[in-house]
């Protein structure tokens, strides 16, 4: 186990100085698939990055598999070759490492106009491979689809060398033309990892909607007595439609095995794609949904400025070498929209290191301290390649801009706080954001600044009086009214913020976070037509959703010790069932003879930890507005 998902015991009320950039405090911070993930991961980039550049007509190399050959001891990287827009794919290229340098070993899998993925005239696609060596053969499972991407699935091939030639089975292992929709939506099987077990073979694979149109993603499995099959029908393991805690908008592929466990990292497909969660399960029981647990929640990965748009595609492909290091093959996309392949590594036994990175390659990102503070003294030692801000008095609502891929911060998250903004030019400014997001400039100072240079900033708040010093020199003092609230860091789009130290002295209290309805719709991965967005003054923040039909589902995934549900009531509003972690908790009726503004509808205390609250509409016109989470 590389690093457990821990819930720190919070020192409420303590005013001692703590360095919140130390890894021991990582669970004091919010880690979120859309809002941001301050990461303490210990990955180090390898020196020859990138090891491969995309080139026309395949500008998007992605979805790779890292393989350590037990026979030769060589490392191989298998890269799916896609053009911009993903279609039509050009097969799979193998790279091999020789004396520390990577070189092309050739195309090991290519579509054939006369094979099952083609129509006799046009080639389909053969992509996204994984390999297992046993008894003199290299067994490969890969993805396929027809020339129009209407049918697809998984297939098998084998070779006597990791460089091929690979002999393809004449029929597929899985064809979604014959796949009933699981949970009414999961049809396409793709992005597979082949795993050898003691008495059988297992394929862990992604499932998505027909034609892999996206919108919702699940990890599933199939098993067989032989690597070439026949395999059992797909069984769903991890998906947002469960009533378990499950971070939304996440894609898995590929997985890796170590010391009897299989590890499944997953990457958020939000705009920044910087959040990772890693699940694990005993290999021999990994076909059972209930054995899967979270190994690391956030702080799995971070993006570097040189990697352009950040981690892209699915997630990294990891393997643990004989030296005890986890090596990772990962794709990134440059600012010019060209795919690149990179390598990184970290000690398997040391998942974290002090100092965190907040990466915002494509949109703004937040690091949110789950504490409420009034007066405080803070000292920040940090460097950034672009604009960022230290924020306090924060009590804005939280959630994504929309509940599907490429989500960013909801506009309402840009409100209700004070921000000391740094860069990207030489100015430093103090700005108050009101409840509507309006920015009010309180102070502006010209200072020396250079991207990537380490700076020390000191901020002290006593009542409404604020002192700000840069490199030990007072640059501003004055009155800046603010309520007690959270402390947050904001990285602007394109910025990577490296925080080396963040010393804080404050009387900290438990925080209460307000999570919007967009968070619940993302968490449920519900069909878009199931809920209708409404803007109404009776909602606390002026927005919410109404169920469009019975059965519509919303799900908040949260970490805390108390949850409260808020919503308005009105004539014609319907009823819903509430479940906590899969157990019935309440049946709620939102109907009222007169319209009532948003108020507390229901609440409960919970053991501090990760939980899922599901609302399932029994009728149309059930309001989904927000929850409040108390985070210890």
Cβ atoms < 10 Å from Cβ of 524:
27
Which domains, and CATH codes, for the chain? 18-29+361-509 (2.60.120.560), 44-349 (2.115.10.20), 526-631 (2.60.120.260)
- Tokens in use for 447? 């200072």
Is residue 252 pLDDT above 60, yes or no?
yes
90 pLDDT band (50/70/90 cuts)?
confident
In percent, the amount of the chain with pLDDT more than 70 equals: 97
447 pLDDT band (50/70/90 cuts)?
confident
Query: If you average pLDDT over residues 195-212, what whole number do you get?
Result: 95
Is residue 494 pLDDT above 60, yes or no?
yes
DSSP string covering 62-127:
EEEEEEE-TTT--EEEEEEEE-TTS-S---EEEEEEETTEEEEEEEEE---TTSTTS-SSS--EEE
Is residue 12 pLDDT above 80, yes or no?
no
List, for residues 263-301, the tens digit of each pLDDT value.
999 999 999 999 999 999 999 999 999 999 999 999 999
Is residue 5 pLDDT above 80, yes or no?
no
Is residue 445 pLDDT above 80, yes or no?
yes
Closest CA to 533 of 520, 522, 546: 546
**CA distance readout (Å), 575 to 15, 96, 567, 618, 621:** 45, 59, 12, 6, 8
**CA distance readout (Å), 613 to 119, 149, 251, 610:** 47, 36, 22, 10
Residue 248's pLDDT is what?
84
- Tokens in use for 155? 């297939």
Residue 451's pLDDT is what?
86
496 pLDDT band (50/70/90 cuts)?
very high
pTM above 0.85, yes or no: yes
Residue 425's pLDDT is what?
73
List, for residues 380-405, the tens digit of each pLDDT value.
999 999 999 999 999 999 999 999 99
List, for residues 94-153, the tens digit of each pLDDT value.
999 998 899 999 999 998 888 999 888 888 999 999 999 999 999 999 999 999 888 999
**Rounded Cα gap, residues 417 and 419, in angstroms:** 7
């Amino acid at each position: 186990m590389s690093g457990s998902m821990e819930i720190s015991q919070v020192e409420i009320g303590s005013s001692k100085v703590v360095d919140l950039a130390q890894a021991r405090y990582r669970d004091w911070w919010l880690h979120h698939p859309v809002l941001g993930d301050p990461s303490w991961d210990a990955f180090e980039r390898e020196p020859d990055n990138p090891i491969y550049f995309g080139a026309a007509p395949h500008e998007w190399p992605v979805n790779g598999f890292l393989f350590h050959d037990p026979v030769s001891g060589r490392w191989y990287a298998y890269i799916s070759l896609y053009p911009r827009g993903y279609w039509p794919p050009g097969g799979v290229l193998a790279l091999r490492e020789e004396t520390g340098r990577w070189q092309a070993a050739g195309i090991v899998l290519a579509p054939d106009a006369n094979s099952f993925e083609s129509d006799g005239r046009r080639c389909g696609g053969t992509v996204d491979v994984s390999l297992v060596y046993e008894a003199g053969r290299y067994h490969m499972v890969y993805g396929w689809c027809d020339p129009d991407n209407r049918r697809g699935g998984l297939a098998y091939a084998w070779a006597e060398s990791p460089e091929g030639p690979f002999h393809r089975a004449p029929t597929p292992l899985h064809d979604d033309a014959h796949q009933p929709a699981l949970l009414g939506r999961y049809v396409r099987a793709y992005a597979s990892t082949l795993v050898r077990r003691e008495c059988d073979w297992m394929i862990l694979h992604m499932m998505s909607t027909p034609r892999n149109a996206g919108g919702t993603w699940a990890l599933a499995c199939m098993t067989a007595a032989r690597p070439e099959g026949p395999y059992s029908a797909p069984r769903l393991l991890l998906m947002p439609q469960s009533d378990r805690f499950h971070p939304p908008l996440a894609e898995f592929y590929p997985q890796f095995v170590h010391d009897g466990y299989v590890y499944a990292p997953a990457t958020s497909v939000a705009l920044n794609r910087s959040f990772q969660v890693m699940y694990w399960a005993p290999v021999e029981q990994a076909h059972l949904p209930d054995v899967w647990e979270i190994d690391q929640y956030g702080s799995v990965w971070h993006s570097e400025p040189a990697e352009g748009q950040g981690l892209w595609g699915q997630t990294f492909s990891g393997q643990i070498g004989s030296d005890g290091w986890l090596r990772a093959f990962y794709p990134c996309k440059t600012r010019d929209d060209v795919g690149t392949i990179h390598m990184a590594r970290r000690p398997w036994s040391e998942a974290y290191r002090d100092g965190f990175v907040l990466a915002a390659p494509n949109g703004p990102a937040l690091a949110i301290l789950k504490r409420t503070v009034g007066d405080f003294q803070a000292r920040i030692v940090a460097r950034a390649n672009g604009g960022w801000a230290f924020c306090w008095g924060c009590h804005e609502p939280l959630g994504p801009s929309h509940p599907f891929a490429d989500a960013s911060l909801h506009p309402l998250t840009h409100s209700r706080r004070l921000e000391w903004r740094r860069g990207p030019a030489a100015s430093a400014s103090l700005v108050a954001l009101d409840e509507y997001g309006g920015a009010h400039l309180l102070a502006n100072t010209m200072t020396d600044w250079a991207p990537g240079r380490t700076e020390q900033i000191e901020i002290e708040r006593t009542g409404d009086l604020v002192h700000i010093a840069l490199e030990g020199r007072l640059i501003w003092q004055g009155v800046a009214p603010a309520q007690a609230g959270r402390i947050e860091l904001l990285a602007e789009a394109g910025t990577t913020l490296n925080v080396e130290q963040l010393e804080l002295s404050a009387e900290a209290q438990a925080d209460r976070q307000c999570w919007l309805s967009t968070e619940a719709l993302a968490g449920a991965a519900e069909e878009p037509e199931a809920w209708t967005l409404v803007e109404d003054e009776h909602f606390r923040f002026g927005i919410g959703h109404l169920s469009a039909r019975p059965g519509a589902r919303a799900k908040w995934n949260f970490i805390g010790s108390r949850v409260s549900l808020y919503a308005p009531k009105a004539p014609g509003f319907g009823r819903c069932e509430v479940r906590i972690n899969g157990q019935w908790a309440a049946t709620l009726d939102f109907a009222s003879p007169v319209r009532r503004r948003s108020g507390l509808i229901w609440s409960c205390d919970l053991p501090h930890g990760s939980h899922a609250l599901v609302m399932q509409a029994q009728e149309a016109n059930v309001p989904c507005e927000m929850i409040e989470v108390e985070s210890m």
